[in-house]
Amino acid sequence: MRIPLYKTITFIVTKDCQLACKYCYLVAKNNKERMSFDVAKKAIDYILSNREHFAEKNVNIEFIGGEPCLEIDLIDQITDYFKRETYRLDHPWFSTYRLGFTTNGLNYNSKNVQNYILKNKEHLDVTITIDGTQSKHDLNRIYKNSGRGSYADVVKNIPLYTEQMERPATKVTISSDDLPYVKESVLHLFSLGIQDIHINCVFENVWKEGDDTILEEQLIGLADTMIEERLFENRTCSFFSETIGKPLNPYRNGNWCGTGKMMSIDAAGNFYPCTRFAQYSLREKKTRIIGNIHDGINLNYLRPFLTLSVKAQNPRECIECPIASGCAWCNGENYDAADTSTIYQRSVALCKMHKARVRTNNYFWNKLYRTLELEGLNQQEAKKIIRVSSNKETC
């Protein structure tokens, strides 16, 4: 089996969060499961001393919650230990590691968070989640105790964030109720200085009749504005990408999702193929633990994840779908929604939303190229001035 270039290792440092976002897939957050430094240390010791299971040249160390910044001191301790140990062991990851976390932004300006960012800025990627306009953001992203929207407390930290990041980005999540706010939200985020917007519909089956029509209307409006105001030159919204909406590549059968190639560790020291397989992420199914800090990885439990192929997990209608490329899935959600305890049954809850996205994506590119052509640019010249989205779906 080919060794991937990157290993992503995620520390679930806490399952607590100040917010109780309505669309959050973490269904069993709590303030009891906080990772101890001892568990994190043992995890690092295991990982660094078992190179045969962690042979990737590069590593992304991610911290997730709940809200990871609630445990910024622990994150700092873990980071320091990782750096010390990779140096001591002359481990190749000493010079190739990246650090990252996505935060709700509430504590972004705190002294400890800022110290951590400054200390690790050469290796660090931080994303603040802000969902768009206050209307959209506060519809879902509310405080767990008061139910109050968190927009005002996040947006005040955005200037500091955009100043510190080379290309400030955010993750936007869309569920059914906030569809009418998609266009205004993306444009609002651009106006705040966010340059790359990774946006996706939730994978859960929350979609109502007519939601695809609303999404389509919103994205057509967004496409028009992005072209009219020439936002395509230096801003990206991942909904628009030239790579989506094509048939699947028949020669590529690898899984879209990175589950199993990455690893998550929780407060109990259990290993998961990704965070979505930890119990706090699952509504219906039992957790899928693939090992722990004491016994190591159970490779048999990992095998189904590493052999997940497109063909084996997708229904025929998806494999043969003429616009299948870019239609994302989450293996954790697939597992949770499956009729049996399998990771090999793809959820198709997003089908109509993907189709709406592809229609508007086609519209965007056709209109954009025609506009630029009328300005006298051929396609090659046009491509040079269009900022391309990474089209990375986000979990």
Partner 1 sequence: MIDYLNILLDDNSASYCNYTVESTVSKLIPLDILKDGIKWSMKNNSMVQYIFPNAKLPQEYIDVIESIDNIKIMPATSPYVDYADVIVFDGIDSIVSKNFSPTTATILRTNKKELFEKYSLIQSVIPEVPRLNLVITDVYDFTEKDFELYKSVLEHFVDSVFSCYCNGTNVQLNCLTDRIFLKDMNNCGAGVSNITLAPNGCFYICPAFYQAAKASATVLEDTFAVGDVSNGLCIKNHQLYDKENAILCNMCDSYQCRRCVWLNRKQTLEVNTPGKEQCVISHLERNASMELLKKLHNKGLLLEIEKINNINYLDPFEIIEL
Q: Using CB under 8 A, list all residues that contact partner 1.
A: 1-2, 253-255, 285-286, 288, 299-301, 303-304, 306-307, 309, 311-312, 338-345
Closest to partner 1 by CB, 105 vs 332, is 332
Closest to partner 1 by CB, 78 vs 310, is 310
Query: Which candidate, 223, 201, 263, 239, places its Cα nearest to that of 11?
Result: 263
State the amino acid at position 229 in one-letter form: E
Residue 389 to residue 350: CA distance in whole angstroms: 21
CB of 358 to partner 1, least distance (A): 25
Question: b or e along 109-132 (b: 16 or more beta carbons within 10 Å of the residue's beta carbon)?
Answer: eeeebeebbeebeebbebbbbbbb
CB of 300 to partner 1, least distance (A): 4
DSSP 8-class letter at 5 = S
Residue 280 to residue 28: CA distance in whole angstroms: 4
CB of 286 to partner 1, least distance (A): 6
CB of 298 to partner 1, least distance (A): 9
Closest to partner 1 by CB, 296 vs 304, is 304
Helix (H) or strand (E) holding 206: none
Query: Which candidate, 219, 185, 171, places its Cα nearest to that of 362?
Result: 219
CB of 303 to partner 1, least distance (A): 5
Closest to partner 1 by CB, 192 vs 319, is 319
Closest to partner 1 by CB, 170 vs 255, is 255
Closest to partner 1 by CB, 93 vs 271, is 271
CB of 301 to partner 1, least distance (A): 6
Residues 6+ apart with CB under 8 A from 133: 181, 184, 185, 188
